[in-house]
A and B are shown apart, each in its own frame.
Chain A
Amino acid sequence: MLSMVSPMGRFRCPGCGYVYDEAQGDDHEGYPPGFAFTQLPADFVCPDCSVRYKEDFLQDDPA
């Protein structure tokens, strides 16, 4: 039987290319591995460029 693992997404800042990878989280910013992008605070700003907001991030195509 196949176990269902919820797919982990990668979310990219369209300005500077920073990637928030849900599988990795972001240790420096204090988000543990598996921390969902949707759970990030509403006022989340790209940790690398601080120009783009959470709603600007684009999800990488899982393929």
Chain B
Amino acid sequence: MHQYTLTSADGQVESYTDHKRFWWMLSLVNPLIPLLGVGGHLISANELWLVVPLLLMFVLGPLFDWLFGEDENNPPEVLVPQLEEDRYYRILTYLTVPLHYITFLCVAVWVGTQSLSWWGFLTLTVAVGFADGFAINTGHELGHKRTKIETWLAKIVLAVPAYGHFWIEHNRGHHRDVATPQDPASSRMGESIYKFARREIPGAFHRAWMIEHERLCRKGVPVWSLHNEVLQSYLITIVLQVGLIAAFGWIMLPFLLLHNFFSWWVLTSANYIEHYGLLRATQADGKFERCQPHHSWNANHKYSNLLLFHLQRHSDHHANPTRRYQSLRHFEDLPSLPSGYYGMYIIAYFPSLWFKMLDPRLLALPHINGDLSKINIDPEAKQHIYAKYG
């Protein structure tokens, strides 16, 4: 086991072993899950195999979170610089990039060359859509970093789910506006995921475009040019997806539309649960208070955190967005979710269940303590919520 040590000036030795070090390799398995369906179908000629990837994600995901439980372990702060410098962690994020391409292309070839039943086509397409939604998670980890290679890899991997505007929207828009009513990527109390998606998907695109437009105007370069970092990633998407239509014909059109939609839906699901109802207070100068750890929901579940590069330790990520995934910390007394993201996604898809589980949890948070004025509430649900909890 790799151990990090540091001897301080007064002779004190601090050491740390990352017990998850080896297990972080699970992040390489995540993009490959749909291939299990394709492989099984290839070998056995039984189309039922195409259902397996979705089952793995949404049955085994919550089950493994329940089985393996939570992990509250943090690295000592003095050893974080060593941990951040360790290239092993970074290489794993690099490697997931080609894996997303391989899976996407293999599944596209399979859909393009086999005559699948409608349900085989649908389950495989939705599964690869979800898997490539996690490409947005890889793009998220990479896009927050300052090195050129990492920002480029972010743009390259975001081309798979056709979501090239994400890293600008997320880094410069969502992180600035998080947990405020003006953030299209922070959900409001009383807002169902279906209503949220209609605000989030167009809102994110619009905000990214405006931010990039402003930057390019300051630089004095044309918006419709290769300097545009939204268009750079879209260009890769166009080559990829038009190429597939040219190669395999019109069957690719429903495949790509569904694939892209479900990839976006994964991000919508994550955004929906990460800040539900949380609100930054308005200061005397009219600006919002800076983002604090209690402005994000967290999950410490081992299994899903290993698949998602610690995305669920979301409070530390928002307080320190450039911190690398291996050094993100757990804090006590923060908004915490009863399950990892896989389980929470399923709950979010049933709005009445979601409200029943999350609304009391939200109201009970120490910084809210039942005070509805400290919650980001959907204006259309306000009357109903005040009648129920006011």
| A→B interface (CB under 8 Å) | 15-16, 27-31, 45, 47-53, 56
Whole-angstrom distance between the alpha carbons of A15 and B216 in the complex? Answer: 26
* Set of chain B residues within 8 Å of A45, measured between Cβ atoms: 172, 176
Residue B219 interfacial (CB < 8 Å): yes
Task: List residues of chain A with CB within 8 A of the CB of B220.
Answer: 30
Contact of A16 with B171 at beta-carbon distance under 8 Å, contacts A30-B218, A51-B291 already known: no
Contact between chains at B175 and A15 (CB < 8 Å): no
The total of Cβ contacts below 8 Å across the A-B interface reads 43
Measured between C-beta atoms, what is the minimum distance from A22 to chain B in Å? 16
Please give the distance in Å from A2's CB to the nearest CB on chain B.
35
Cβ of B180 to closest chain A Cβ, rounded Å: 13
Q: A29-B218, A51-B291, A56-B290 are in contact. Are A16 and B172 (CB under 8 A)?
A: no
Pairs across A and B, CB under 8 Å, 7 listed:
A16-B322, A29-B218, A30-B218, A48-B322, A50-B321, A51-B318, A53-B287
Q: Does B388 count as interface, using CB distance less than 8 angstroms?
A: no
B319 and A51 contacting across the interface, CB-CB below 8 Å: yes
* Residues of B participating in the A interface, judged by any CB pair closer than 8 Å: 146, 171-173, 175-176, 215-220, 287, 290-291, 318-322
A11 to chain B, nearest CB (A): 17
Having A29-B215, A48-B146, one finds 16 other A-B pairs with CB under 8 Å, namely A15-B319, A27-B219, A30-B215, A30-B216, A45-B172, A45-B176, A47-B172, A48-B321, A48-B322, A49-B320, A49-B321, A49-B322, A50-B171, A50-B321, A53-B287, A53-B290
By secondary structure, the A interface counts as loop
Top 4 A-B residue pairs of the complex, sorted by shortest distance between their CB atoms: A30-B218, A50-B175, A30-B219, A50-B176
Closest approach, in angstroms, between the C-beta of A34 and any C-beta of chain B? Answer: 15
Q: Given A16-B320, A29-B215, A50–B290 Cβ distance below 8 Å?
A: no
User: Could you say which residues of chain A place their CB within 8 Å of the CB of B287?
Assistant: 53
Q: Closest residue of chain B to A48, judged by CB? A: B322
Point out the residues of chain B lying under 8 angstroms from A15, CB to CB: 319-320
Query: Can you name the residue of chain B whose Cβ is closest to the Cβ of A45?
Result: B176
The distance in angstroms between the C-alpha atoms of A48 and B45, with both chains bound, is 50
Q: How far is the CA of A53 from the CA of B175 in the complex (A)?
A: 12
Q: How far is the CA of A28 from the CA of B148 in the complex (A)?
A: 12
Closest partner residue, chain B, to A47 (CB atom): B172
Q: Chain B residues near A28 (CB, 8 Å)?
A: 215
Residues of chain B within 8 A (CB-CB) of A30 are: 215-220
| Contact in complex: B219, A50 (CB < 8 Å) | no
**Best-buried of A15, A27, A51, A56 by chain B (most CB within 10 Å):** A51
Once the chains bind, are A51 and B175 in contact (CB under 8 Å)? Answer: yes
- Of all chain B residues, the one with the shortest Cβ separation from A27 is B219
CB < 8 Å neighbour of A49 from B175, B215, B219? B175
Contacts of A29 in B (CB 8 A): 215, 218
Closest chain A residue to B229 by CB distance?
A28
| A54, B103: Cα distance in complex, Å | 43
Query: In the complex, A56 Cα to B287 Cα: how many Å?
Result: 13
- Give Cα A53–Cα B287 distance, bound, in whole angstroms: 10
